[in-house]
């Protein structure tokens, strides 16, 4: 592979991992069951701390609302962050609830003798390349402050590093009271095992889903949570101990993704801590450097295939010495009030599933459709207030069955500026009509009235779910502009933003009594051709479908953890 500048590598990786009608991106082409990776990593030789069962966490919460608790917070209330009803107090219960409702197991599925776990955060192929970490102060997880790996199978923490108390005290002085840090990494091999070279993209989608899941869990707790910019990949790797080669000998490496800060209330305290991130980073890095590390990463597969282009894209897109994330405004826009029965957020998170097939019949009303789309706008509140950079993802929608809207191809530019960008980049023959009945504050435009079911199916790798839902969509990135502004690291962030939009759609669909499915398999340039995009101004990065699901009666469902009743 020619050695070139990181931006050129990222661009080349992107282009050569496109699926085409006559050629899929490179992969083995078959599943090698002998090397199937273990979905759960553990660190042997660490102190293990059982997390609090969320039901018990409820009992330990003090509030003025009688017997109600954070578990009764309605999904729709998550978007009114001004006054959370039942804020959870800092401590182990809060960390437990945060992890359980973002990265924990949502269910076990069984078909005959096969049994597999599903998680609150979805993952392409259910392969779950994402690992989670938290960094907490003294007294939260036993005695000392520490860096912990989250083991979702056991809902437990594995203490990788006991932090030096004095160093932690210096580091935490820059953090809001009661807050803790969370971080995500990717094990590319888990995803590459099935998807080959395109897997790096899917790992980034999954990070975006997980970031959004964490932000939403924090919102349910009455907390706030955001990505902390300003950390280089190298600094993050050493904070998490994933650069400790001796601890990973023989084990599949973890690639650092992002650091997040979760804080009880007080968005302004969080914002200033994030703004002063460089100071926080130096003190934290020092606390980890002088800490006491333990544990060895488990090996997930007997053997693995190396995909040079994944390594190249990963290295090229790391946050370098001068991270370029630009702060985006996070004004909360009042979102349309809930329709129908308000479902508890906790229930929505745990029952979120991907529809494996859709009925081709269910419709939704225009009002509900518009309310769902409004929640996807960058200033709608969580989860998008966790992404501290310029929003760059916009939607091209195939509307199939929305009562009150003609079927057809639509555009939803998610920022004011993107209206002109999309108009300039898409087919000049598109009509850009504001359909009657669409609320004034929703920038939805009809491009072409048509029955799009066949084309939507064809473009999404001939998957029926793209045609059989109420609507499906492609997420279009301002590709050139994002890379010009943020450098090669912006490549990952584009996928993270699509993952956050996907997570919102999953939850919105669930709250509306229907269901969504992420679609990572689509024919990239065929989508661009349909839209009239001839260059890299816009690139479709992720597809999604929402509709009436058909359940598979052969599958049985069991709770995520033994202590949870159905
Ligand atoms: C990034 C991403 C891409 C996905 N792509 C597809 C797809 O192309 N087709 C499909 O049927 N499901 C797809 N899925 C759904 C996953 O298979 C599903 O999330 C996984 O099996 C876990 O199930 P759950 O979502 O019900 O927890 C995708 C999910 C994600 C997060």
Q: To test the ligand 1 pocket, which listed residue (124, 502, 507, 552) has its Cβ within 8 A of the most ligand atoms?
A: 124
521 CA closest ligand 1 atom index: 8
35 CA from centroid of ligand 1 (Å): 21
Q: Which of 203, 204, 185 is nearest to 194 (CA)?
A: 203
Q: Is the CB of 521 under 6 A from ligand 1?
A: yes
Q: Give the count of beta carbons closer than 10 Å to the beta carbon of residue 536.
A: 17
Question: Could you report the per-residue pLDDT of 378-420, keeping only the tens digit for each?
Answer: 999 999 999 999 999 999 999 999 999 999 999 999 999 999 9
Measured between alpha carbons, how far is 442 from 449 in angstroms, rounded to an integer? 19
pLDDT at 279 over 70: no
Pocket test for ligand 1, best of 126, 495, 509, 517 (most atoms within 8 A of CB): 517
559 close to ligand 1 (CB < 6 Angstrom): no
CB 263 within 8 A of CB 98: no
Q: What is the DSSP letter of 128?
A: -
pLDDT > 70: percent of the chain: 90
pLDDT exceeds cutoff 90 at 220: yes
Q: Is 432 left (phi over 0), alpha (psi -120 to 50) or beta?
A: left
CA 431 from chain center: how many Å?
A: 33
User: Is the pLDDT reported for residue 165 higher than 90?
Assistant: no
pLDDT over 50 (residue 216):
yes
Residue scoring higher pLDDT (346 or 328): 346
Pocket flag, ligand 1, residue 17 (CB < 6 Å): no
Please, what is the average pLDDT of the chain? 91
Place of tokens 């990222």: 10
CA distance 68 to 464: 42
Q: Whose CA is nearest to atom 7 of ligand 1?
A: 519
- CA angle 100-101-106, nearest 5°? 80
- Ligand 1 atom with least separation from CA of 465: 11
Q: Which pLDDT score is estimated for 356? A: 96
User: For a substitution probing ligand 1, which of 106, 199, 354, 495 has the most ligand atoms within 8 Å of its CB?
Assistant: 354
Ligand 1 atom showing the smallest separation from residue 202 Cα: 1
Q: Report the candidate in 502, 516, 508, 83 with the shortest Cα–Cα distance to residue 332.
A: 83
* Cα–Cα nearest to 165, from 133, 135, 137, 134: 137
Tally the residues of the chain.
566
Whole-number Å distance between alpha carbons of 151 and 43: 9
E strands present in 43-175: 43-44, 47-50, 105-111, 114-119, 130-136, 146-151, 156-162
329 pLDDT above the threshold of 50: no
Q: What is the pLDDT of residue 175?
A: 87
């Amino acid at each position: 592979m020619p050695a070139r500048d990181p931006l050129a590598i990222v661009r080349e990786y992107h282009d050569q991992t496109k699926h085409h009608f006559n050629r899929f991106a490179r992969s083995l082409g078959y599943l090698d069951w002998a090397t199937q990776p273990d979905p759960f990593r553990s660190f042997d030789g660490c102190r293990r701390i059982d997390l609090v069962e969320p039901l018990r966490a409820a009992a330990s919460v003090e509030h003025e609302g009688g017997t109600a608790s954070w578990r009764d917070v309605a999904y729709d209330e998550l978007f009114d962050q001004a006054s959370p009803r039942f804020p959870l107090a800092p401590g182990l219960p809060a960390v437990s609830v945060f992890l359980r409702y973002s990265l924990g197991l949502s269910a076990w599925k069984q078909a005959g003798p096969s049994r597999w776990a599903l998680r609150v955060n979805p993952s392409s192929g259910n392969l779950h390349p994402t690992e989670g970490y938290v960094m907490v102060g003294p007294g939260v997880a036993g005695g000392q402050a520490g860096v912990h790996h989250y083991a979702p199978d056991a809902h437990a923490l594995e203490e990788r590093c006991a932090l030096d108390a004095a160093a932690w005290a210096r580091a935490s002085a820059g953090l809001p009271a009661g807050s803790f840090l969370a971080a995500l990494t990717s094990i590319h091999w888990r995803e590459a095992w099935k998807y080959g070279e395109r897997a790096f993209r899917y790992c980034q989608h999954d990070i975006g889903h997980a970031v959004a899941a964490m932000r939403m869990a924090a919102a349910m707790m009455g907390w706030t949570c955001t990505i902390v910019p300003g950390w280089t990949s190298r600094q993050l790797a050493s904070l998490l101990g994933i650069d400790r080669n001796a601890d990973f000998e023989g084990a599949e490496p973890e690639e650092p993704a992002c650091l997040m800060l979760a804080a009880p209330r007080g968005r302004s305290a969080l914002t200033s801590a994030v703004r002063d991130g460089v100071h926080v980073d130096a003190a934290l890095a020092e606390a980890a450097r002088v800490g006491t590390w333990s544990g060895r990463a488990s090996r997930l597969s007997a053997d693995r295939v190396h995909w040079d282009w994944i390594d190249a894209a990963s290295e090229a897109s790391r946050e370098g010495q001068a991270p370029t994330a630009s702060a985006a405004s996070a004004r909360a826009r009042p979102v349309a009030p809930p329709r129908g029965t308000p479902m508890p957020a906790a229930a929505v998170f745990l029952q979120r599933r991907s529809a494996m097939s859709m009925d081709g019949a269910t419709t939704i009303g225009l009002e509900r459709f518009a309310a769902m789309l409004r929640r996807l706008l960058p200033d709608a509140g969580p989860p998008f207030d966790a992404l501290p950079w310029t929003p760059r993802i916009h939607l091209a929608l195939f509307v199939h069955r929305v009562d009150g809207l003609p079927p057809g191809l639509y555009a939803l530019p998610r920022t004011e500026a993107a209206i002109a960008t999309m108009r300039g980049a898409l087919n000049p023959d598109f009509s850009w009509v504001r359909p009657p009945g669409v609320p004034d504050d929703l920038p939805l435009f009809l491009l072409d009235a048509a029955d799009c079911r066949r084309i939507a199916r064809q473009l999404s790798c001939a998957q029926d779910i793209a045609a059989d839902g109420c609507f499906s969509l492609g997420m279009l990135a301002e590709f050139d502009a994002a890379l010009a502004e943020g450098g090669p690291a912006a490549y990952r962030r584009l996928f993270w933003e699509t993952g956050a939009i996907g997570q919102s759609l999953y939850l919105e669909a669930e709250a509306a009594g229907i269901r969504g499915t992420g679609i990572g398999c689509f024919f990239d340039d065929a989508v661009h051709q349909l839209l009239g995009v001839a260059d890299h101004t816009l690139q479709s990065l992720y597809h999604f479908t929402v509709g009436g699901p058909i359940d598979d009666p052969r599958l049985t469902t069991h709770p995520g953890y033994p202590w949870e009743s159905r």
